[in-house]
Structure 1
């Protein structure tokens, strides 16, 4: 109706949280066996036989420590594997687990893509203030994460909240966090944060449809990733720490 095309859906946001006592996030718990059955016998055939048959199904939509185990278990069901296009991963535990888990997930099924589908800063209980205007450290977190995902088979990187208010909301359970753009409605102002410019830089130079290529970099303090764009240009993104 409003010209917004939905290209994909996930099997549910952070299903593991449903098994965490006293967790207030609204989640529906899935086990790999129930996910595979639902996709194979219901969601997959329904989408394939509908006018929305171009819609892609993304598995997991949860934390990095669940890969490659969850995809491996779900893909044992050949029908479910047929209908699933890729695996969605969130970044919240990335600092505790190696990026090699992304490589392992890619190697499990190279025809299935990996997409980082949720990230934000200011989300831990120790983050105070929740909104830190002008924080370059938080912008750096975005830059380094994007480079890391791109270098380990990620096809994209998605921020959770592009715009929030100065408190880091609104949020129905007071789960306040930071965002690339902060709006102050009382003064009719908005602030573009370093996180915004991190996203803008990659989006500006790495065109949709670009392909990542290898890049030899011997400098430990310079993080890098490289692409060939659809217009056959080579784009190198560097970050000097």
Structure 2
């Protein structure tokens, strides 16, 4: 039997691909990350295809196509933008944005999320229409996105200059306090009398953001609507409330204004698929809902497929998860992120995949309430502006750098607890396969496509991205 060419997942010279007389020309590019950090998204020696398909090969089938990708990225929170604008020099800022949003060797982030008003990762708590306690402003006479113009919108605009394909999503953490049952940004729900003003508030936010940075592609009407935080802005909205707001107010408001911004429901955890299903069961709301957004903090990623299977015309987006000091960075956070978010969410139909903070400082902030030990994709030293790349940077980079906007996920075999994969076909005809070894032993595996194959070997908790061209 012909020996397989195996490229070992380590950094020594002994791990080079095996050379064989008569082998086909090298055709597969490889990038590797190992949990010992000997290789971090590091290019490896290219591999050669062999004719045939071993019986145990992981099969990639470009003829079976699934969702079209919007992209991968992270949220430009107030904290992230403030650090980038206020704690970096112009040269540092330009270099970081090119590294995160630019093409290879950048990460090519093509999707981001901005907050509408404050979140816990803000330096103060505010909305775009704050009035004195006890007062109201149903005509939105005091509406202003001035807080976003300080750092967030300039950062988003600069990121879009680096990557003109950058898709932007926005999400409110709370309506203005005067619209709510709590008369505060903290806790409470939306008063029924405020449904129409809240829709206008969101419409004006979309229009003013778009005038500043270009199109706003997606909007969720409420971040985590089944949670009322104790010490930062939040707002509880039931499925029935969201359906009424979208169906009777927000959807028609966007239509009258000619807005192409697509409305996403839920924007919360995997553990309550009944919530978005409840909204989508309402015909008036469903006609205005383009998709469902998900977070990672409870439940299982398979919930995305559960809802999508019942509503295949609605897009799936994964829009928030944070790494943090509650788990060991290497290999725990690295392994969980790549398995669950990069491979798991896309195999469960996600068109876009977002981490939470793009950047935080060495003290996991700035923040006001909420999470005190969350990690950003990168850390920015608040004194020097120097950048540290966290495990999430490499996990996302294994997809974002290679999967182009408009790529389609294609069929690939995945072996739970072993070699887990996801594959894509790019618009330029190239194929991308991401493979992760979820087992406890070194694993050798062939990969076959279109009557040819290559072989590789991965250490436990190591990942490799492979890219090759269509053989035709």
Q: Same fold (TM over 0.5)?
A: yes
Q: Secondary structure at the match of 1:2?
A: helix
Q: CA deviation at 1:138?
A: 1.9
Structure 2 residue 276 is the aligned partner of structure 1 residue 71:
yes
TM-score normalised to structure 2 length:
0.46
- Residue correspondence of structure 1 range 82-101 to structure 2 within 5 A: 82-93=287-298, 97-101=299-303
Query: 2:101: which partner in 1?
Result: none
CA distance in 1, matches of 2:416, 2:224: 36
Q: Secondary structure at the match of 2:213?
A: coil
C-alpha distance 235-190 of structure 1, shift in aligned 2 (>3 A): same
Larger Rg: 2
Query: 1:195: which partner in 2?
Result: 392
Query: 2:88: which partner in 1?
Result: none
- Tell whether the 8 Å contact from 1:222 to 1:239 is kept in structure 2 after alignment: yes
- Residue correspondence of structure 1 range 1-241 to structure 2 within 5 A: 1-18=211-228, 23-51=230-258, 53-67=259-273, 69-93=274-298, 97-122=299-324, 127=326, 135-145=330-340, 146-173=342-369, 175-176=371-372, 177-218=374-415, 220-240=417-437, 241=461
Q: Secondary structure at the match of 2:393?
A: helix
Q: CA deviation at 1:14?
A: 0.6
- Tell whether the 8 Å contact from 1:17 to 1:23 is kept in structure 2 after alignment: no
Structure 1, gaps ≥5 residues long? none
- Compute the RMSD of aligned alpha carbons: 1.9
CA distance in 1, matches of 2:246, 2:359: 33
Greater mean deviation of Cα atoms: 83-92 or 214-223: 214-223
- Tell whether the 8 Å contact from 1:135 to 1:193 is kept in structure 2 after alignment: no
C-alpha distance 222-62 of structure 1, shift in aligned 2 (>3 A): same
- Tell whether the 8 Å contact from 2:318 to 2:352 is kept in structure 1 after alignment: yes
Higher relative CO (Cα under 8 Å, sequence separation at least 6) belongs to 2
Q: Secondary structure at the match of 2:308?
A: helix
Q: CA deviation at 1:174?
A: 5.3
Q: CA deviation at 1:226?
A: 0.7
- Displaced runs of 4 or more, over 6 A: none
Q: CA deviation at 1:99?
A: 3.3
Q: CA deviation at 1:216?
A: 2.0
C-alpha distance 47-28 of structure 1, shift in aligned 2 (>3 A): same
CA distance in 2, matches of 1:211, 1:48: 29
Q: CA deviation at 1:219?
A: 7.2
Deviations 1:138-163 (A, max 9, x none): 22222112100011111121011010
C-alpha distance 188-98 of structure 1, shift in aligned 2 (>3 A): closer
Q: CA deviation at 1:182?
A: 0.4
Deviations 1:21-53 (A, max 9, x none): x733411111111111110110000001114x2
Deviations 1:194-223 (A, max 9, x none): 211221221111111111111124474222
Q: Secondary structure at the match of 1:171?
A: coil
- Tell whether the 8 Å contact from 2:339 to 2:420 is kept in structure 1 after alignment: yes
